[in-house]
């Protein structure tokens, strides 16, 4: 059994690279995902993941599948959509979710249009679903840099983010820099999604960010342990996803996200914090006491 798990990673370099890339993504994904969940922005994360497409596509249009060009393009597009939706919402007194949805849909459509002008459907699939089994050195360096930047950002701003997430009005009264933490967080989110899309594609990158955090919420009511659980779950999902992909010839990014989906369903049922069975058990115990 252990041999079955280890041998693909010992024998093949592409599997080692894929696992290493997933580990790097899991560090960032668990950190960002937990705060995304606590800020109630999980769907915004999904929208921004789509929004980076035209930038990446423009990079692709001019430089082909070049990591740097697609990263810079994706970063600009993601940041632009995130900030434009925020500013439009504030200036026109509408909800940010509606402006973000509008901008990201236009952005996604523009991205598909640009890719279709240059390449065929195979290239589009590469951008949408990534290439975790073919990570080159450039992509791994990008994932390294992304992890380092993300960890540094969170080390400096962890308390800012906790304060802002728990009670932003109160924090505003305490610090004149309270608003900046939100924008730094948005930047880290976009950067993480841009790095993630090289490995898993725009559609799946957000999955490894949001799902581990959603799972962790069912097992802990302390932020520190949520971060740890999310990281462990993300790594397990990546490991099982890569192995399924190797043995059953499944698309890797879909397999990783689907394993996380299985963990999520199990957590919904069995989770110690609000899981269905736990709630039923508590109710039964209460009824017993009352009778």
Residue from 160, 191, 246, 263 in contact with other proteins (CB under 8 A):
160
Select from 265, 46, 90, 240 the least CA-distant residue to 179.
90
Asked if residue 170 binds other proteins (CB under 8 A), the reply is: yes
Angle, in degrees to the nearest 10, between helices 137-166 and 178-200: 150
Asked if residue 156 binds other proteins (CB under 8 A), the reply is: yes
Asked if residue 38 binds other proteins (CB under 8 A), the reply is: yes
Asked if residue 223 binds other proteins (CB under 8 A), the reply is: yes
User: CB of 160 within 8 A of CB of 92?
Assistant: no
Q: Which residues contact 119 (CB under 8 A, 6 or more apart)?
A: 60
- Closest separation between CB of residue 149 and other proteins, Å? 18
Residue from 175, 272, 279, 282 in contact with other proteins (CB under 8 A):
175
Residue from 159, 248, 287, 290 in contact with other proteins (CB under 8 A):
159
- How far are the Cα atoms of 39, 122, 158, 192 from residue 165, in angstroms, in the given order? 6, 41, 11, 20
- List of long-range contacts for 117-121, beta carbons under 8 Å, 24+ apart: 117/61, 118/57, 118/60, 118/61, 119/60
> Cα(226)–Cα(220) distance, rounded to whole angstroms?
6
Residue from 226, 230, 238, 256 in contact with other proteins (CB under 8 A):
226
Residue from 91, 92, 173, 289 in contact with other proteins (CB under 8 A):
173
Residue from 14, 168, 236, 261 in contact with other proteins (CB under 8 A):
168
Residue from 9, 104, 171, 259 in contact with other proteins (CB under 8 A):
171
Total site size for other proteins, rule CB under 8 A: 24
Give residues in contact with other proteins (CB under 8 A): 38, 156-157, 159-160, 162-163, 165-171, 173-176, 217, 220-223, 226
């Amino acid at each position: 059994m252990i041999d079955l798990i280890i041998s693909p990673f010992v024998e093949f370099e592409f599997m080692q690279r894929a696992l290493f890339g997933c580990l790097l993504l899991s560090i960032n994904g668990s950190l960002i995902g937990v705060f995304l969940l606590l800020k109630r922005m999980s769907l915004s994360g999904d929208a921004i993941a789509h929004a980076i497409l035209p930038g990446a596509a423009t990079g692709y249009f001019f430089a082909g599948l070049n990591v740097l060009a697609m990263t810079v393009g994706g970063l600009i597009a993601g940041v632009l959509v995130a900030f434009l939706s925020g500013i439009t919402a504030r200036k026109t007194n509408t909800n940010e979710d509606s402006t973000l949805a509008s901008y990201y849909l236009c952005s996604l459509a523009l991205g598909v249009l640009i890719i279709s002008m240059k390449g065929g459907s195979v290239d589009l699939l590469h951008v949408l679903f990534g290439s975790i089994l073919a990570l080159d050195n450039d992509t791994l360096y990008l994932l390294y840099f992304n992890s380092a930047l993300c960890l540094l950002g969170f080390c400096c701003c962890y308390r800012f983010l906790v304060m802002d997430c728990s009670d932003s009005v109160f924090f505003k009264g305490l610090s004149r820099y309270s608003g900046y933490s939100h924008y730094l967080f948005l930047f880290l989110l976009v950067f993480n999604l841009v790095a993630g899309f090289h490995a898993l594609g725009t559609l799946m990158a957000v999955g490894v960010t949001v799902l581990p955090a959603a799972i962790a919420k069912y097992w802990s009511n302390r932020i520190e342990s949520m971060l740890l659980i999310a990281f462990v779950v993300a790594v397990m999902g990546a490991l099982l996803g890569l192995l399924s992909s190797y043995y059953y010839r499944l698309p890797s990014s879909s397999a990783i996200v689907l394993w996380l989906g299985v963990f999520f369903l199990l957590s919904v049922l069995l989770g110690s914090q609000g899981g269905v069975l736990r709630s039923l058990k508590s109710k039964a115990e209460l009824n017993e006491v009352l009778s």
